[in-house]
């Protein structure tokens, strides 16, 4: 069940990141889910560098927003450094 939840949240985060990123980002639903998951991992890694997690929370609105920002950074890196997307 955890994997299904991760895929659904990743898809939502990926679609929102594609919406907020300036310019067209052409990718399907599967790549959008992968983008959202990668953005969440990046945001979690950076967040843990600045403030380590004390307690596990199932959902936090700030984490959701940071995941979207992380996905936007992943789009930027993929476009400008690897000429993908």
pLDDT exceeds cutoff 80 at 52: no
> Is residue 37 within 8 Å of residue 6, measured between CB atoms?
yes
Residues 40-50, mean pLDDT to the nearest whole number = 85
Q: What is the pLDDT of residues 1-16, one digit of tens each?
A: 788 988 999 999 999 9
pTM of structure: 0.84
The confidence score (pLDDT) of residue 30 equals 92
Percentage of residues in the chain having pLDDT higher than 90: 45
């Amino acid at each position: 069940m955890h994997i299904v939840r991760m895929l659904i949240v990743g898809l939502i985060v990926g679609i929102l990141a594609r919406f907020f990123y300036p310019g067209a980002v052409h990718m399907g639903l599967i790549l959008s889910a992968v983008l959202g998951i990668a953005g969440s991992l990046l945001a979690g890694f950076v967040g843990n560098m600045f403030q380590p997690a004390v307690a596990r929370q199932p959902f936090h609105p700030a984490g959701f927003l940071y995941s979207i920002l992380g996905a936007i950074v992943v789009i930027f890196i993929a476009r400008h450094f690897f000429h993908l997307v």
